[in-house]
Structure 1
């Protein structure tokens, strides 16, 4: 059956708008609203995620546990975000001194099922709400730009931004990594792009692309 390019373009445009809406709302509104907006894109993009469904759930759980542990242990003295992909935790944000930064990492390291911690917390004052809103908007623009690209799968990447520095996570080939970094670097407001990526071979990419995501329903051609 032939692909309907008009439908594809409209779906892509709707997803881009939803991403930008969620990014603008994130620092200002509760998680329920943002989750509802983000859910608009989830169905169309989930198939491109190279993690198994089980790993995706595990990553979300680990992120909640990490941020809860940081909040309970350090309260308002720090501003730290934990971003998780394939059981790797990226820590970004601000803390008052190097000792606190090390203590935050040590606290997160006590959580189970972590493969690696990448600590890029900076010494400094906590960022303002306007700075965080700007970071969220940059993240949305980067995601939208990746989604708009025709030669990579946007949902193979996880994007987060701190003080204008964009971090890319994901299971990708070197070709995809370089392409995504180039796209992100061209987005207005981006200060630097940091690749926190797991590289796979083109052969491994072909294998992952041919294998249905665990937990996904089978897809068959319609009756003839």
Structure 2
């Protein structure tokens, strides 16, 4: 009986410690992201809030949300909308919804008119994003933490608060990746 109780206590402790390790690792990753970003912590917080509000407001438009695949990314109040929606009216409505959110300074409405892409296309997009990120990480004297990379239907979108030189380098890196149809810049340029 004592051995069983001891074994249960040890296993429970091990499981709890694994949870702590995940929390510590997650905290370290968040700290690294905050440190590598030109935006203030407050601006990063505001951007997360904008993304959440936008996603919820779009989801509230049940017909549009059910017929569409819309992703929202915010950087320093500049919001990128990507994905597919069946009508131009839905595209415009999504843009209007997001533009009314407090803190939104600009909306890049890159929604495409059409049916949502299939899982094969999404998998390829994930591979392209991973490859662009890996190439950025492997580029000497380039801080990849300042650029967010997302891919939708083979189109790579680059977002961030960067210098012009960093923006040009990011575009150059993304264009070289196999499978990239086009590169779209949604940068805000920082003063050197």
TM-score range, shorter chain: 0.7 to 0.9
Q: Which has the larger radius of gyration?
A: 2
Question: Unmatched 5+ residue regions in structure 1?
Answer: 1-34, 203-224
Q: Deviations over 1:111-133 (max 9, x none)?
A: 21111111011111111122122
For 2:56, which of 68, 93, 109 is the aligned residue?
A: 68
The answer on 1:95 being equivalent to 2:75 is: no
Report deviation, 1:187: 1.4
Q: Which residue of 91, 99, 105 corresponds with 1:109?
A: 99
Q: Distance in 1 between matches of 2:25 and 2:124?
A: 19
The yes-or-no answer on 1:168 pairing with 2:161 is: no
Aligned residues: 168
Any conservation in 2 of the 1:83–1:160 contact (CA below 8 Å)?
A: no
- The CA deviation string for residues 92-137 of structure 1, in whole angstroms up to 9 with x for no partner, is 1111111111111112222211111110111111111221222122
Distance 1:36 1:144 in 2: 24
Q: Distance in 2 between matches of 1:132 and 1:197?
A: 24
User: Which residue of structure 1 aligns with residue 124 of structure 2?
Assistant: 134
SS at match of 1:189: coil
Among 42, 46, 51, which residue is 2:39 paired with?
51
Change (3 A) 1:36 1:88: farther
Give RMSD over aligned pairs. Answer: 2.0
Secondary structure at the aligned position of 1:170 is classed as strand
Tell me, yes or no, if structure 1 residue 156 matches structure 2 residue 172. no
Q: Please give the TM-score of this superposition, normalised by the length of structure 1.
A: 0.69
1:184 to 170, 174, 186: 174
Check 1:87–1:50 CA distance in 2 against 1; reply closer, same or farther (3 A cut).
Answer: same
**TM-score, length basis structure 2:** 0.80
Structure 2's unaligned 5+ residue stretches are: 1-22
Q: Distance in 1 between matches of 2:171 and 2:157?
A: 9
- Please tell me whether residue 79 in structure 1 is matched to residue 75 in structure 2: no
Larger relative contact order, structure 1 or 2 (CA cutoff 8 Å, min sep 6): 1
Q: Secondary structure at the match of 1:51?
A: coil
Partner residue in 1 for 2:6: none
Q: Is the 8 A contact 2:59 2:65 kept in 1?
A: yes
Q: Distance in 1 between matches of 2:122 and 2:78?
A: 23
Residue 193 of structure 1 pairs with residue 180 of structure 2: no
Report the 3-state secondary structure (helix = DSSP H, G, I; strand = E; otherwise coil) of the residue aligned with 1:150.
Answer: coil
